[in-house]
Amino acid sequence: MRTEVEALALRLERYVSGAGRWLFAGAAEVRPGADPTAYVLSGLPEEDRAPAMFLVLDHIWGSLAHNQTRLLIVVDEGWRLMQHAETARFVQALAKTLRKRNAGLLLLTQDVSDVLQTPVGEAVVTNASSQVLMRQAPQAMPRLTDLFTLTEAEVSWLLSAQQGEGLLLAAGKRVPFRTVASRVEAEIIAGAAQRGEQPRQ
């Protein structure tokens, strides 16, 4: 029978010499600046995505201590962070304090109900300076209707919205919108489609 120390060593082995060793490995210093910077986590195992997202955001937060440039931090698939109490609270703290470091937070998710499952997630969404709702599944609408006090017309719009259409909620106003890609954006989207990448709504 394994001792507690042996059991702990077995659990930690993955992070010492196995697939999770990236977690404690040193990395080149990358400081957010005027040029767009992307942290791509697609090569990580599913169970490592949330810790990696947390580490990236923590690194960005630390690097902004003396930031003078206005920055927007975009977190795709933000629901991953909202599934864990500690990382959800970290996102909430970021959302409240990034403006003090001349930065803003944009949290993206395909299914807003994943974010709204916890009180912290709901607070992050409802306290945002603006929200953009794209087409929604019928089962998500009762929750969203209550949360955002949507009208029947707004519910109908979101249920039937086509690609690029949505509802913008900002400054106490609600505006249905349709985004139209510029020529350059259309070329980028077409290139992604040719590479087999799935365009996002």
CA dihedral (53, 56, 59, 65) in degrees, to 10, reads: -80
Is the residue at 52 inside a domain? yes
Is the residue at 26 inside a domain? no
Residues 61 and 97 in one domain: yes
Tens-digit pLDDT profile for residues 160-187: 999 889 999 998 899 999 988 898 988 8
Residues 67 and 90 in one domain: yes
What's the number of domains the chain is made of? 2
- Residue-range definition of the domain harbouring residue 191: 131-201
- Compute φ and ψ for 21, nearest 5 degrees: -65, -20
Within 10 angstroms of residue 73's Cβ, the number of other Cβ atoms is 18
Cα–Cα–Cα angle for 56, 60, 66, rounded to 5 degrees: 165
Tens-digit pLDDT profile for residues 51-98: 888 888 988 888 888 888 888 999 998 888 888 888 889 999 988 888
Is the residue at 69 inside a domain? yes
